[in-house]
Chains A and B, each alone.
Chain A
């Protein structure tokens, strides 16, 4: 058996570089597919972590098909609703710098937990409102801010100067990359939201099983309310990824079609040189099983090496190089740098599917034609 393995190793490059080319294509396809699997798995994992701490209900107000701000009086009575344990109005919206949108999100002036997510920057302008931004945003704002870290937000309503008070700690770039945290009043001034009004509100329900009941009660008590549950939003995002996976489905189909072409080429028969080689091997005393072993080792060496190399390169590409080009299919292009790190997730099921759809198929289509030739009459093969 060992000698057959040695012979297989030596025969890989015997007929030019055809096997090397097949191995390279095989490796590229595995690399492409596994990169998509890695990115998708990591994004889903991060979304699940975020969902654990997300509010259960997001409440908007809708009148005659138009969405309006919620007033604090409309939120006050929600505290008295049975089952509702927390109500908070949110002030937020999008603001456009010249090249990109950013999300302005209001927080309380003295948010006690802010130090948990922010690394503070010393700033002497104590009379200005403080904003907290991401590292990428800090780099992006370089052309818009003064040397002492003051940014000017300008809108048709009011111009606001604000000091950069801190940068988010590393780890949550997937969610905070374009978010600017600033005091509620400043967000109101920039976006033109009246005092006492909120963009929307978040609600927590003590017993998660009661969420549908609370929503039904909310819409019954005030038909203008439109409630969205956490599960709906998460489902929406996962659908977005699936939609993107839909885009990637094309990629998958193209990749598998290419695999199909390789398999078809292998299965359609051996070249005359390979047929002759089998004939000669039979003539010098090799049995059919020896020839099958030879082709088995040959194809295993090519496809297993290509598969492993593809996986290794995709880990390098996704987790060390941050998936340049491919990540924009998920994240969209933006002037704001998006250099977030992804959590390493190895989804065994998906990789098993990838493995079993490629490696055994390739081995199969390599062995069958060789077996067919090996069972023919020797004279016919060598003719």
Chain B
């Protein structure tokens, strides 16, 4: 297999144009929505680690206090949805 100048030029051109097209085609999310949501709800914790309350709500100090005491502590799952079968 041998590379020639034409193939290399085409490959380089493809790489550069593909990168540029990608950047043009990226659909950035509407930052205004984030601003509005935070303004209305005063909630600004990213919804990460949903199933780890001390990571999800880092300003909810009581949860932090419990989990900082011992990471082995687990919350009692009160408030869980206990319907045996869905309503649908």
* A98, B47: Cβ atoms closer than 8 Å: no
Asked if A331 and B48 make an inter-chain contact with CB atoms under 8 angstroms apart, the answer reads: yes
Mask, A57-88, CB within 8 Å of B = 1, is 01010100111000000000000000000001
What's the nearest-Cβ distance from chain A to residue B61, in Å?
5
Hey, what's the 0/1 contact readout for B5-30 against A, CB within 8 Å counting as 1? Answer: 10010011001101100110111111
With contact pairs A146-B88, A155-B78 given, residues A9 and B8 touching in the complex (Cβ less than 8 Å): yes
Q: Is B71 an interface residue (CB 8 A)?
A: no
Find A153's partner among B41, B48, B81 (CB 8 Å cutoff). Answer: B81
Q: Are B81 and A154 in contact (CB-based, < 8 A)?
A: yes
Neighbouring A residues of B39 by C-beta, 8 Å: 53, 113
In the complex, identify which listed stretch (A215-223, A287-295, A335-343, A352-360) lies at the interface while the others stay far away: A335-343
What mask results when residues 27 to 39 of chain B are scored 1 for a CB within 8 Å of chain A, else 0? Answer: 1111111111111
Do residues B42 and A54 form an inter-chain contact, with CB atoms below 8 A? yes
Report yes or no: B26 in contact with A315, Cβ–Cβ below 8 A: yes
Q: Is A13 interfacial (CB-CB < 8 Å)?
A: yes
Nearest A residue (CB) for B15: A308
The A contact surface, by secondary structure, is mixed
Q: How far is the CB of B31 from chain A (nearest CB, A)?
A: 5
Contact, CB under 8 Å: A320 / B22? yes
B1 interface contact, C-beta 8 A: yes
B2 touches A171 (CB 8 A): no
Residue A181 at the chain B interface, CB threshold 8 Å? yes
Residue of B40, B49, B61, B78 near A116 (CB, 8 A) is: B40
Q: How far is the CB of B22 from chain A (nearest CB, A)?
A: 5
Q: Is the CB of A117 within 8 A of B36?
A: yes
Q: Mark A157-199, 1 if CB is under 8 A from B, else 0.
A: 0000000000011111111111101000000001100000001
Name which of A89-97, A206-214, A269-277, A364-372 contacts chain B. Answer: A89-97
Residues in B neighbouring A179, C-beta threshold 8 A: 41, 43, 47
Asked if A240 contacts B58 (CB within 8 A), the reply is yes
Interface range for A: 35 or more
Is there a chain A Cβ closer than 8 Å to B73's Cβ?
A: no
> Which chain A residues border B30 with CB–CB below 8 Å?
169-171
User: In the complex, which residues of chain A have a beta carbon less than 8 angstroms from the beta carbon of B23?
Assistant: 315, 344
Bound-state Cα–Cα, A331 to B55, Å: 10
Known: A228-B59, A312-B15, A332-B55. A117 touches B47 (CB 8 A): no
Per the 8 Å Cβ criterion, residues 38-88 of B in contact with A are 38-53, 55-62, 65, 77-83, 86-88
B29 in contact with A175 (CB, 8 Å): no
| Interface stretch of the complex, out of A42-50, A248-256, A259-267, A373-381 | A42-50
Interface status of A286 (Cβ within 8 A of chain B): no
Closest 9 CB pairs of A and B: A171-B33, A67-B62, A171-B30, A332-B49, A177-B47, A54-B44, A172-B33, A146-B87, A50-B44
What are 9 A-B residue pairs whose CB atoms fall within 8 Å in the complex?
Answer: A9-B2, A49-B31, A67-B62, A105-B41, A144-B86, A171-B30, A178-B47, A228-B59, A233-B44
Residues of A near any B CB (own CB < 8 A): 5-6, 9-10, 12-13, 43, 46-47, 49-55, 58, 60, 62, 65-67, 88, 90, 92, 94-98, 100-103, 105, 107, 111, 113-114, 116-117, 142-147, 150, 152-156, 168-179, 181, 190-191, 199-200, 202, 226, 228, 230, 233, 236-237, 240, 301, 305, 308-309, 311-312, 315-316, 319-320, 330-334, 336, 338, 340-344
Extra 17 A-B pairs, beta carbons < 8 Å, given A113-B40, A146-B88: A10-B4, A43-B46, A53-B38, A58-B59, A96-B81, A100-B50, A144-B81, A152-B81, A156-B78, A179-B41, A199-B60, A312-B15, A332-B48, A340-B29, A341-B28, A343-B31, A344-B28
